[in-house]
Structure 1
Amino acid sequence: MVGKTQGRKRGRPRKYCSDADGLPQSTMCGSHPRGGHLSLSDAVQMASRGEAETRTETENSTEMIIVTPRGESESLPFVKSSPAWKAVQSMQVFQKFPQNPHFLPLTEYRKSFREGMAIGHMVTFANVVEEAFRLKITDPVHSFMTCLEALQDLEPHGFHVNATKARLTKMLSVIEQLQKLHNEHVEVEGRISELTSENDEIVEEIVKLNEKIRNLQDELACAASKKENKDSEITALRESLAAISASIQSIELDFEDAT
């Protein structure tokens, strides 16, 4: 149609990131909220919700897709003429995950752009899948979310992404579980450290009390020894007093008898 713009009819086309060498990466720009990263729980919820929404959109859109049985070129919104298709379709990813995208959303673009954009989508899909299966649970959460968002953008073009999305969503769930266990581990370790510190203070107090007890026991033994000495002295004095009293009584009796 004359006067048709180069962009989409509705909204702006997504921008694909590239590395320092100008090669397409497995990520897409503009997918993350500005001003910080998503929390892990939010990421898992978004991944699960996005997978469900994409499934619904795919089910709803399949009724609108009409593929003619007269060959692949009849069902595509462009004619495959670029020699790049052979190299792209021979990539290892497409041997493991065969794809037959219809690229119907490209009908919103000029015909001269469609084949190049389709090749770009194929390369992006390959890069995203390779990245998804290269990710480890120790990688940042936003790396998983970027891959999921890219797959969600590619799925309307007819790419089969369920296996890759399932892997990413499962790994996000595992990361969330590990994060919760890690938080519990840190919390328990902190409580153990706190109780250990309190226990050390109690042990120190017990040591001081035992020392006081030993000192009191020494004082008690000393006091008991002093009492024993005093008792012995008192006993000796009482015996002496009794002897003196007996002597007095004897003298008085002798004096009375003499008179």
Structure 2
Amino acid sequence: AINVAKKLLAKKITVYTISPVNVAGAKQIETLEEINKIKLDLVITLGGDGTTLRVFRNLANETPILTINVGGNRGILAEITIEEIDEAINGILKDKFFLDKRTRVTASCGGKEFPPALNEIYISRTNLTKTAQIEIKFQNDTVKQKMDGLIVATPSGSTGHSFSLGGPILHESLDVLIITPVAPVYRLASLVVPDEKIEIICSQDCNIAIDAQVVKSVGYEEPIIIKKYKSSAVFIRLKKRGLRQMSKLGF
């Protein structure tokens, strides 16, 4: 991170770093949440997909992010490796990039909206000794069945937990959501629906996991509303690829 900041400063770019990263010539902010108070042209993340998800969860607007994979993992969401940073900076300064907008979703309960998710929202029963009955309301239809939980995934999240449960892989640009049941008593396939409001009611107390990083608790039979977030997640892209996430999985 320090080396990347120094490269940007050398090109007379105003740079902010987040504590504990401290670089001479750069302005420092203490917490990730503070980036919403600053007008930024670009955010750069270094790490794995978990880092990218955390930044997008705390970014309320559509400031684009350049994702750099560091650490040896696949980096499904990453655009470049650290070895490609010089080429990337030069390309961005010459406007040789494009913006890739992705759907985010948010869950709310009792009038309180939780942070947005780029990949998925996972609703699971807290009592592991009894199967929950989950009711899904979408448009004018209702599906009710006993199951362990439910995943609502975005196209970006279609290569994540939903895929592990047999869900489809979607092109990242589609304006849809995937509803994937977790261990339903009777076979129930994933549903691909328009990215409109989904209401979920669970017969037991449940947890809401946001991109597998933040967990919120909800009481039984409290309606959970899942809908498209007000702003997209925006990636800086240097190369055009179709189904880029699927290619990272080795298909």
TM-score (normalised: structure 2) = 0.20
Compare the two structures and name the one with the higher strand fraction: 2
Greater helix proportion? 1
- TM (norm. structure 1) is 0.20
